[in-house]
C-alpha cells in the first residue's frame, strides 16, 4: 500500500497537538485574506513549471502545499517571494498587489520565507542569525511591529541553543533557526519550503506545535511545503496538491487524503520510485 493510501486508512492522532483552529485571534481579521494568488504561470525553456495557479491563505491560517518532485512547489514559492518573475498572474498581500520579481518589495510587503536548502550564517550564533535578519530588514518592514527575539526563540524551542554557532547544530535545529530568522521580518505571510525535511518523527511533531504557535501568536498566514505527509496533514487547515505545475486538488486534509487523483498522481508516482 502506498503512503497516502496508508494515511487514509489510519486516523490522524490529534492527542499530542492542539486541534487546528481556522480562526486567527481577533474578530473580523480572522476571515481576512493574508495572500491571494491568481493565475500565476512560469515557463522554463518553453515548459510550464507553474501553470495558472491560484490559491489563497487567510490571516492566521496554515495552508499545506504538496506534490511529487518537480511539481512546481518551490517555483511557486519563488514567484510569490519575488525571487522569480512570473510570465503572468498576480499576488495580492493584505489586499495590495505586489510588484512581481522584486524580493525587496515582497519582504517589505510582509512575505518571509525559508529555503529548501538551508541558508544560515553558520559561524554566527543562533541569536545573531536572528538579530542580523532583524537589523538588515529594519527599513523593509513597512512599519510592522518588531517581534521580540527571545519570544521568537521560545516559539521555536531554540532558547537553550541561542548562543551556539548555527553551523554546529543538528540539521533539524538549523531548520528551526531558518524559521526564526524569517519571523524576524515580522511577516504577514511565512513561506516554509520543506521545514520538516531531515527531521525525525519527534522533531517534526514538535515543529507542528511551533508552526501553530507562530500562527496563533503572530497571526501570520503560513504556507508550508513538505513531503512528510503526516506532518502536512496535521499542521494544515487546507491543502493544495500540485502536479506538473498545476493545482490538481485542494481541500481539507481529510478530503485530500481520500482523493483518488491525489493517490494516483502524487503517490502513485512516488511509490514507483
Which parts of this chain interact with ligand ATP (CB under 6 A)?
Answer: 44, 49, 67, 69-75, 116
- Cell numbers for 8: 487514509
Give 38-105 as a DSSP string.
EEEEEEETTEEEEEEEEEEEETT-EEEEE-STTSSHHHHHHHHTTSS--SEEEEEETTEEPPTT-HHH
Quick one: 73 or 108, whose CB is closer to ligand ATP?
73
- Cell numbers for 17: 497537538
Stretch that binds Mg ion, among 54-62, 95-103, 109-117, 162-170 (CB under 5 A): 109-117
127 binds, among ligand ATP, Mg ion, none (CB under 5 to 8 A by kind): none
Strands across the sheet with 221-225, in order?
111-113, 189-193, 221-225, 62-66, 238-243, 246-251
51 binds, among Mg ion, ligand ATP, none (CB under 5 to 8 A by kind): none
71 binds, among ligand ATP, Mg ion, none (CB under 5 to 8 A by kind): ligand ATP
Q: Is 186 in the site for Mg ion (CB under 5 A)?
A: no
Quick one: how far is CA 249 from the chain centroid?
18
**Residue from 42, 55, 59, 74 that binds Mg ion (CB under 5 A)?**
74
For residue 74, the minimal CB distance to ligand ATP (Å) is 3
Quick one: 71 or 196, whose CB is closer to ligand ATP?
71
Quick one: 75 or 174, whose CB is closer to ligand ATP?
75
Amino acid at each position: 500500500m502506498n503512503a497516502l493510501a496508508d494515511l487514509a486508512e489510519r486516523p490522524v492522532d490529534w492527542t499530542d497537538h492542539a486541534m487546528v483552529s481556522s480562526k486567527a485571534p481577533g474578530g473580523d481579521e480572522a476571515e481576512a485574506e493574508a495572500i491571494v494568488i491568481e493565475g500565476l504561470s512560469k515557463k522554463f525553456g518553453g515548459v510550464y513549471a507553474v501553470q495558472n495557479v491560484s490559491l489563497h491563505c487567510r490571516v492566521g491560517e496554515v495552508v499545506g502545499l504538496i506534490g511529487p518532485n518537480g511539481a512546481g512547489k518551490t517555483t511557486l514559492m519563488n514567484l510569490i517571494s519575488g525571487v522569480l518573475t512570473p510570465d503572468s498572474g498576480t499576488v495580492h498581500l493584505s489586499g495590495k498587489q505586489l510588484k512581481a520579481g522584486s524580493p525587496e518589495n515582497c519582504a517589505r510587503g510582509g512575505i518571509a520565507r525559508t529555503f529548501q536548502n538551508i541558508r544560515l550564517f553558520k559561524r554566527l550564533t543562533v541569536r545573531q542569525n536572528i538579530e542580523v535578519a532583524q537589523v538588515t530588514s529594519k527599513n523593509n518592514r513597512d512599519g510592522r511591529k518588531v517581534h521580540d527575539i527571545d519570544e521568537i526563540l521560545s516559539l521555536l524551542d531554540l532558547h537553550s541553543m541561542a548562543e551556539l554557532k548555527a553551523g554546529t547544530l543538528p540539521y533539524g535545529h538549523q531548520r528551526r533557526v531558518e524559521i526564526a530568522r524569517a519571523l524576524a521580518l515580522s511577516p504577514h505571510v511565512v513561506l516554509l519550503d520543506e521545514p520538516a525535511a531531515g527531521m525525525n518523527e519527534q522533531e517534526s511533531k514538535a515543529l507542528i506545535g511551533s508552526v501553530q504557535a507562530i500562527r496563533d501568536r503572530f497571526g501570520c498566514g503560513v504556507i508550508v511545503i513538505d513531503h512528510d505527509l503526516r506532518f502536512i496533514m496535521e499542521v494544515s487547515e487546507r491543502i493544495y496538491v500540485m502536479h506538473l505545475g498545476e493545482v490538481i486538488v485542494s481541500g481539507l486534509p481529510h478530503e485530500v487524503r481520500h482523493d483518488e487523483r491525489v493517490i494516483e498522481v502524487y503517490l502513485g508516482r512516488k511509490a514507483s520510485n
